[in-house]
Amino acid sequence: AQSVTQPDIHITVSEGASLELRCNYSYGATPYLFWYVQSPGQGLQLLLKYFSGDTLVQGIKGFEAEFKRSQSSFNLRKPSVHWSDAAEYFCAVGVDSGSQGNLIFGKGTKLSVKP
């Protein structure tokens, strides 16, 4: 069965430090992969997506992610974290549900940023 694992429930980094959030997926075919961010009390905003092609994808707010098929991973990175990046981050894989593609989400990683 398809699944997404985010091994880290909560991560704290200092402002200006680099960030890597881990995501592993289980899916038989070539996956469509996404990272979403959710600020407190808000809906989900798409950060970036991978469908095919270049395995390093750039997103909004200075985030990037790298697809590694051999490791079934799609880790999210940012070279220098800002206090406004404090939020919860969700990795998701697109799966076929009959005639519609839907998303399976990981359980999320909460990011705290120390001043």
Partner 1 sequence: NAGVTQTPKFQVLKTGQSMTLQCAQDMNHEYMSWYRQDPGMGLRLIHYSVGAGITDQGEVPNGYNVSRSTTEDFPLRLLSAAPSQTSVYFCASSGWESSYEQYFGPGTRLTVT
Taking the complex as a whole, how short is the minimal distance between the CB of residue 1 and partner 1, in angstroms?
11
Q: How far is the CB of 4 from partner 1 (least distance, A)?
A: 8
Please give the backbone phi and psi of residue 75, each rounded to the nearest 5 degrees, phi first. Answer: -80, 140
**Terminal CA-CA length for the chain:** 41
Distance CA 88, CA 14 (A): 16
Q: Which of 23, 85, 94, 111 binds partner 1 (CB under 8 A)?
A: 94
**30 interacts with partner 1 by CB under 8 A:** no
Q: Furthest-apart CA pair in the chain: how many Å?
A: 47
Distance of alpha carbon 3 from alpha carbon 107, whole angstroms: 10
Question: Toward partner 1, which CB reaches closer, 43 or 115?
Answer: 43
Residue ranges binding partner 1 (CB under 8 A): 4, 9, 32, 34, 36, 42-46, 49, 51, 90, 94, 97-108
